[in-house]
Amino acid sequence: MSMSHTIVIFGASGDLTRRKLIPALYQLYCKERLPDETRIVGFSRTPLTHDEFRSKLRVETQKRAQDAFEEGKWEAFAQSLYYQPGSLEQTEDVARLCRCIEQLEQNAPATRVYYLATLPQLYETAVRHLGELKMADETDGPRRLVVEKPFGHDLHSARDLNAIIHEVFEERQVFRIDHYLGKETVQNLLVLRFANSIFEPLWNRHYVDHVQITVAESLDVGSRGAYYDRSGVLRDMFQNHLLQLLMITAMEAPVRFEADLVRDEKVKVLQALRNITPGEIAEATLRGQYRGYRKHEGVDPESQTETFAIVRCWIDNWRWKDVPFYLRSGKAMSCRSTQIVIQFRRVPHMLFQPEQGRPLDANRLVVQIQPAEGIQLHFLTKVPDAGMQLRLTDLDFRFDREFPSGMPDAYQRLLLDVLHGDASLFARSDEVELSWAFIDPILTAWRSPLAPPLYIYERGCWGPRESHPWLADQGREWFDVCPVLH
Ligand code: BG6
C-alpha cells in the first residue's frame, strides 16, 4: 500500500511559500507528478482559515502560471491545502500543529516533509520543537527536514546549526536547499561533462587557461536592504550558489549518480580549494558597491557592505593545479546573466597574424545557465575573401529552440526530490561547512586593514571599472557579453 505524503511549511505566510513553493507544487500537481494523496499544511502566526490561506495563495500562483493557470485544477489542488495558525516559539502551538497533521493523516503511516521557510533565526527553535514532540521519529513513515538558505552566517553558526539538527534528525533526513542545483542548466552541466566523451579530455589544466563563473544580476537589493546589509554578496551568493557552480564545474565523475557519491566528489573540490590568506586578500579579491546602495531603506548610510565581488580561487589537485577560477557576482549590473566560461589555452604556435595587434582569441565554451539557456562553443574561422584574416565564431545551442516547452522553476525538481527522498541535489553538512571555511577568512580579511578598497560602481555596468585592469594584469579579459534574448 502506498503511503500518503504531508508537506508541512513553517513560515507559510511568507514570500517564499507564496512565490515559489506553492506555484511549484501546483505545477507539479497539474503535470500529475505529485504523489497521490499529498497534502500541504501551512503554519505561521498570521491568523487565517484554510479558505483564506487558499485564496491568498491563489492570487500569486495565478500570476506566476499566467495562461497555464486552470481554475478547475487549482480548485482541486487547493483542497489539499490546509492552514494551522501558531507560533513556532510556543510548544503548545507546535503540539497543536502535530495533532492537526495526525488527524489529516488519519493516524496512518505517511511520509512527512518539514519545510523551514521561516526567518533563519527560528530554525533552531523549530528543530528543537520537532525533536521534543518526537516529530522526527520514523516509526510511522519517513520524516524529512528541508532547510532554506542561509544555512548559518559563518562557519561557527553553520556548525552549531548542523549540531542542533543532528540531535534530532539524521543526516540522511536533512535536505539543505540551494536552488541553483534545481536549475535544469546546472544539472545539464553534469550531463555535458559526464554523458559526452569529447569535453572531458580537454577539461583540465593541460587545455584550460582559466574559468570564469559569473552571476550578474541587473536588479538591485530593492526592499531587502535590511537583510542584505548584514549579509553582503559573499554570504548571499558566493558561499552557496557560486561555490556550487564551481564544484559542479570542477568535480571528478562520481561512480554512480547517487546522493552520497555525487556529494563526495563535490566535497573533494572544496577540500582542494586553497584558502586565501590575509596577505593575499588585496590581490586575490576585488570588492564593489553600486552607487546609491546606501540610500535603500534598511541600509546603513555609511555601509561598507559589498554588492559586487570577485574572488580568484585555486584548486590544488592534479586536474586543476595553477588554473584560476574567477568567481564574480554583483547586483545592479548590466544585465541578468549567469554563465560559466571555460577559456581554453591558445594554440602553442600561431601561423596567422593577429588582427590589428590584438592577440588571437582562443577557444571558449560558454555555458549559459540563465537566461537564454544554452551552450556556445567559440572557435576561430577564416573570414572568406579576406586573405588569412580570422574571426572568432560560434556554434550555438539554445534550449528554447530544441525544447520549446520551456524551463520549469528550480523548486519543482527540488520538491519532488525531497518527496522521493533523493538528496543528490542538496548540500550535505560537510559541504556547507567547507564552503563557509573558505568564505570566512575572506570576510574577516575584508574587515581588516589589509582589505582591498571598496570601489563604487555605476549601475548598469559590469561592476567596478577597476575589475578590468585587475584581470588584464593577469593577462586575461572578462567575457562581458549579455545573453541575447529572443
Ligand atoms: C538568492 C539571493 O539566493 O538568489 C538573491 O538571496 C538573488 O539575492 C537570488 O537575487 C538569485 O537567484 P536566481 O535564481 O534569480 O538567479
Tell whether 156 is covered by a domain: no
* Number of other CB atoms surrounding residue 264 within 10 Å: 17
Tell whether 434 is covered by a domain: yes
128 and 214 part of one domain: no
For the chain, what is the domain count? 2
Tell whether 82 is covered by a domain: yes
User: Residue 135 is part of a domain; what is its CATH number?
Assistant: 3.40.50.720
For the chain, what is the largest distance between any 2 Cα atoms, rounded to a whole number of angstroms? 82
- The reported pLDDT for the residue numbered 355 is 64
Looking at 129, 179, 210, 241, which residue is catalytic?
Answer: 241
Final residue belonging to a domain, choices 125, 148, 171: 148
Using a 10 angstrom Cβ sphere, with 0-12 exposed, 13-18 middle and 19 or more buried, the burial of residue 468 is middle
Tell whether 218 is covered by a domain: yes
Per-residue pLDDT of the chain (486 residues; tens, 9 = 90+): 579 999 999 999 999 999 999 999 999 999 999 999 999 999 999 999 999 999 999 999 999 888 889 999 999 999 999 999 999 999 999 999 999 999 999 999 999 999 999 999 999 999 999 999 999 999 999 999 999 999 999 999 999 999 999 999 999 999 999 999 999 999 999 999 999 999 999 999 999 999 999 999 999 999 999 999 999 999 999 999 999 999 999 999 999 999 999 999 999 999 999 999 999 999 999 999 999 999 999 999 999 999 999 999 999 999 999 999 999 999 999 999 999 999 999 999 888 876 665 666 899 999 999 999 999 999 999 999 988 889 899 999 999 999 998 899 999 999 999 999 999 999 999 999 999 999 999 999 999 999 999 999 999 999 999 999 999 999 999 999 999 887
189 and 140 part of one domain: no
Residue 430 — φ and ψ, nearest 5°? -65, -35
Q: Angle at the Cα of 28 (from 483 to 219), degrees rounded to 5?
A: 30
Tell whether 467 is covered by a domain: yes
Q: For residue 476, which of 278, 328, 275, 288 has the smallest C-alpha distance?
A: 328
Annotated catalytic, 468?
Answer: no
Q: Is the CB of 236 under 6 A from ligand 1?
A: yes
143 and 290 part of one domain: no
- The reported pLDDT for the residue numbered 360 is 65
Angle between helices 123-132 and 91-104 (to 10 degrees): 60
122 and 21 part of one domain: yes
- The reported pLDDT for the residue numbered 356 is 63
User: Residue 362 is part of a domain; what is its CATH number?
Assistant: 3.30.360.10
Distance 473 CA to ligand 1 centre (A): 31
463 and 354 part of one domain: yes
* Pairwise CA distance, residues 123 & 169, whole Å: 13
Distance 3 CA to ligand 1 centre (A): 35
Distance 153 CA to ligand 1 centre (A): 16
126 and 272 part of one domain: no
Tell whether 215 is covered by a domain: yes
Atom 15, ligand 1: residue with shortest CA distance: 217
Q: Is the CB of 306 under 6 A from ligand 1?
A: no
Atom 2, ligand 1: residue with shortest CA distance: 236
Handedness of CA 292, 298, 302, 307 (dihedral sign): negative
Instruction: Please give the number of the atom of ligand 1 that sits closest to the Cα of 180.
Output: 14
317 and 262 part of one domain: yes
Cα separations in angstroms, 149 against 4, 177, 299: 28, 6, 21
* Pairwise CA distance, residues 437 & 453, whole Å: 23
Atom 8, ligand 1: residue with shortest CA distance: 236
- The reported pLDDT for the residue numbered 358 is 61
223 and 360 part of one domain: yes
Range of the domain at 392: 181-472
Ligand 1 pocket test, candidate residues 229, 235, 237, 244, most atoms within 8 A of CB: 237
* Pairwise CA distance, residues 437 & 422, whole Å: 26
Q: Angle at the Cα of 442 (from 300 to 117), degrees rounded to 5?
A: 65
Global pTM?
A: 0.96
